[in-house]
Amino acid sequence: MWQQHLVIAPILIPLFAALLQLLPWGENPQRYRRLIGIVACILTISAAVTLLLQVHQYGMQVYAVGSWQAPFGIVLAVDRLATVMVLLSALLSLPILAYACYGEDNLGSHFHALFQFQLLGINGAFMTGDLFNLFVFFEVLLIASYALLMHGGGKLKLRACLHYVLLNLAGSALFLIALGVLYGTTGTLNMADMAGKIAALTGDEAALARAGGMLLLVVFGLKAALLPLYFWLPQAYTMTTGTVAALFAIMTKVGVYSILRVFTLIFGETAGAASLLGYQWLWWLGLATLLIGAIGVLGSRDMRMVISYLVVISVGTMLTTLSIANERAVSAVMYYLIHSTFVTAALFLLIDVMAMQRGKTASRIVSGRKLAQHSLVAVMFFAAAITIIGMPPLSGFVGKLHILEAARVGDQANWLWPVVLGSTLVIMVALARAGSKMFWHTLEGKAGDTRSANGQLVAVMVLLSAAVLLTVFAQPVTAFTDAIANDLYQPQRYIYQVLGGSTL
Amino acid sequence: METLFAITVGMLTACSVFLILRGRSFPIVVGITMLSYAVNLFLFSTGRLVLEGAPIIGNEKPITDPLPQALVLTAIVIGFAMTAYAVILAVRARGEIGSDEVNDLDHSDAEGQR
């Protein structure tokens, strides 16, 4: 009985946790709020794991909210892709929240509730099977992110946040226009139903639907930080606090997920006049994003900025590979997505640790004093760096190998190989320079005396251990991402499950 | 009616784009508000424009699609909250930075701080 309702648990748990955290908790509210947050994260992880096992064993789960059947009501359609993304966000949230509990959550009010609302929006966006509901969950995660971005306050954050908010407001308006166009032409908002109806469109209606689809690509490109729309990202991620930046490692992935979902299901190969819409654009813009990201990494003088541009590079890599449009490419993208989310988050937290211990020089790439926990932090930085660069033996290497392998045949290799390998070299140069400047060329004299709490270091290590686990269990993980890719390229199964066979 | 409606939505959108491309936060916020009006009107029209139709199936009269009305309602609520946040943010930026230019920050002092 309860298993049937398990599907909605990753949305309900953060929601109730956030509501509980908003209650006045008396003298020392932060203690209770932390406890609720950690418990909620653990519950979400266990729900996500159970869901993953269920979906893997029995196939896709469809949850009709309020028992209104698709296509009339809103459904949550949870397939392998959705569960993996939910599990990823849940696994990411726990160490980040634990890290934040060592003081960062005191910088502003309601950090914990906002954190849970953010997770609620992210999980909802991953699970919904309805385009308008996707918009609503996007707004939920956005409004939480607006407030989180301002956590701690300050002029610089204010400026970055203003840009971010205004851009995303314009993005939301475009999203609504796209939805209006698609609803006007197909008469439905359910993704599965729309996929069936779009294939039947001809003439003017098909042209309108294509325009709507391209608008959706712009909106998701803004969320994912694709080339002409990425300018908000480096400022926002650099200015905000370490934990928020680490949590935002999953935010660009929401955009990538949406592109993956909508452009394989609705505008996939079977979509008639609108089939494989936008893939050309994705390919070239993705490559350009990679290049710009590499230039950004080289030009940054602040470690946070470097990591922000690494996020841009990873988005470019994923979207370019995705636009190759075959199962192997999608499988490679999924592996790379999981890997890059964990490692980017770990790096953001690690830079936060370094900035705190270095004192005045903070995260700028200049010689500073020795850290209090110098060798430990240096080893962690080294591990994270070789993972994000893509050097053996850790998961970055496996991920890049998959991506290069996916593009091995055909013309794609001529473009993708040089750009991906070139950007790898650039990242290596930039990180080697930064690492040697910050860890080896330290100033003479006493080391700093600000030590980080052990719990904070453990949180970073847990995130980094994901890279090790992804390498050790590369085979089963790849088997699973292969299954995801297989699902995505059989959209008729998804459609059949959601619509209950009623229209087929 | 369709022509008038289309012209209205088009004008609103054009004006809002003009305002959004300004360099100060106040015109941008006004522009975004105007854009959300245009979007709401546009969403309303996606169920086709029907006069004197009831959004209920079953009676004799012409019927109109009830879904766009629900969508517009949702969009209005969300847009309102977002605009309120943007206004607060713009006002605070004006107060703390001392100018409502969106882009006049000297980036050299930004590095290494947060």
pLDDT, tens digit, 9 for 90 and up, residues A180-225: 999 999 989 999 999 988 888 888 889 999 999 999 999 999 999 9
Which range, of A234-248, B32-46, B94-108, averages the lowest pLDDT?
B94-108
Task: Give the contacts of A279 (CB within 8 A, at least 6 positions apart).
Answer: A263, A323, A325
In 3D space, the residue among B11, B44, B32 whose CA is nearest the CA of residue B87 turns out to be B32
Q: Between B32, B46, B105, which is nearest A180 by CB?
A: B46
Q: CA A360 to CA B112: how far, in whole Å?
A: 8
- Average pLDDT value for residue range A246-272: 91
Q: How do residues B62-114 score in pLDDT, each as one tens digit? A: 888 888 989 999 999 998 899 999 999 889 888 888 777 777 655 444 444 44
Kindly determine whether residue B67 and residue A305, on different chains, have CB atoms separated by under 8 Å: no
* Residue B53 token pair: 């139709």
Q: CA B74 to CA A419: how far, in whole Å?
A: 43
Question: Terminus-to-terminus CA distance in chain B, angstroms?
Answer: 54
**A379-399 as b/e: b if 16+ CB within 10 A:** ebbebbbbbbbbeeebbbbbb
Kindly determine whether residue B46 and residue A170, on different chains, have CB atoms separated by under 8 Å: no
pLDDT above 90 as % of chain B: 41
Q: Between B28, B78, B114, which is nearest A156 by CB?
A: B114
Q: CA A74 to CA B73: how far, in whole Å?
A: 16
Which of A68, A140, A159 should one mutate to test binding to chain B, selecting the residue with the greatest count of B CBs within 10 A?
A159
Count CB pairs under 8 A between chains A and B: 110
What are the beta bridge partners of residue A61? A78
Kindly determine whether residue B113 and residue A362, on different chains, have CB atoms separated by under 8 Å: yes
What are the beta bridge partners of residue A78? A61
Task: Please check the confidence at residue A501 and state whether its pLDDT lies above 70.
Answer: no
pLDDT of residue A321: 93
Q: CA A492 to CA A81: how far, in whole Å?
A: 15
Q: In A, which residues are within 8 Å of B22 by CB distance?
A: none
In 3D space, the residue among A164, A175, A174, A176 whose CA is nearest the CA of residue A237 turns out to be A164
Q: In B, which residues are within 8 Å of A124 by CB distance?
A: none
Q: Does A425 touch chain B (CB under 8 A)?
A: no
* Residue A469 token pair: 């686990």
- Average pLDDT value for residue range A300-326: 93
Let me know if A84 is exposed, middle or buried by CB neighbors in 10 A (0-12, 13-18, 19+): buried
Q: In A, which residues are within 8 Å of B38 by CB distance?
A: 173
* Band of pLDDT at residue A34, cut at 50, 70 and 90: very high
Instruction: Tell me how close the Cα of A158 comes to any Cα of chain B, in angstroms.
Output: 6
Q: CA A493 to CA A287: how far, in whole Å?
A: 32
pLDDT of residue A237: 92
- Average pLDDT value for residue range A339-347: 95
Q: In B, which residues are within 8 Å of A152 by CB distance?
A: 114
Q: How do residues A360-413 score in pLDDT, each as one tens digit? A: 888 888 888 888 888 999 999 999 999 999 988 899 999 999 999 998 877 888
Q: Does A357 touch chain B (CB under 8 A)?
A: no
- Geometric angle at alpha carbon A341, from A346 and A437, rounded to 5°: 40
Q: In B, which residues are within 8 Å of A176 by CB distance?
A: 39, 42-43, 75
C-beta of residue A139 within 8 angstroms of C-beta of residue B78: yes
In 3D space, the residue among A242, A448, A238 whose CA is nearest the CA of residue A359 turns out to be A448
Task: Please check the confidence at residue A291 and state whether its pLDDT lies above 70.
Answer: yes
Q: CA B31 to CA B13: how far, in whole Å?
A: 9
What are the beta bridge partners of residue A130? A190
pLDDT of residue A450: 83
Instruction: Tell me how close the Cα of B32 comes to any Cα of chain A, in angstroms.
Output: 7
Kindly determine whether residue B71 and residue A183, on different chains, have CB atoms separated by under 8 Å: yes
Helices A29-58 and A80-100: crossing angle in degrees, nearest 10, is 160
Q: How do residues A62-106 score in pLDDT, each as one tens digit? A: 998 888 888 888 999 999 999 999 999 999 999 999 999 998 888
pLDDT of residue A168: 93
- Higher pLDDT residue, A393 or A254? A254
C-beta of residue B20 within 8 angstroms of C-beta of residue B36: no
pLDDT of residue B104: 62
Which of A156, A306, A363 should one mutate to test binding to chain B, selecting the residue with the greatest count of B CBs within 10 A?
A156
- Average pLDDT value for residue range A430-440: 92
pLDDT above 70 as % of chain A: 99
Which of A130, A155, A186 should one mutate to test binding to chain B, selecting the residue with the greatest count of B CBs within 10 A?
A155
pLDDT of residue A476: 94
- Strands (E) in A154-193, as ranges, are none
In 3D space, the residue among A339, A316, A385 whose CA is nearest the CA of residue A477 turns out to be A339
pLDDT of residue A484: 94
Q: Does A241 touch chain B (CB under 8 A)?
A: yes
pLDDT of residue B10: 95
Q: In B, which residues are within 8 Å of A179 by CB distance?
A: 43, 71
Q: Is B23 helix (H, G, I), strand (E, B) or coil?
A: coil
* Residue A389 token pair: 């660069």
Task: Please check the confidence at residue A431 and state whether its pLDDT lies above 60.
Answer: yes
Kindly determine whether residue B71 and residue A163, on different chains, have CB atoms separated by under 8 Å: no
pTM of the model: 0.93
pLDDT of residue B108: 44
Q: What are phi and psi of A330, to 5 degrees?
A: -65, -40
Q: Is A411 helix (H, G, I), strand (E, B) or coil?
A: coil
Q: CA B81 to CA A13: how far, in whole Å?
A: 24
Mean pLDDT of chain A, nearest integer? 91
Q: CA A346 to CA A247: how far, in whole Å?
A: 10
Q: In B, which residues are within 8 Å of A241 by CB distance?
A: 114
Q: Does A49 touch chain B (CB under 8 A)?
A: no
Task: Give the contacts of A94 (CB within 8 A, at least 6 positions apart).
Answer: A38, A41, A42, A45
pLDDT of residue A461: 95
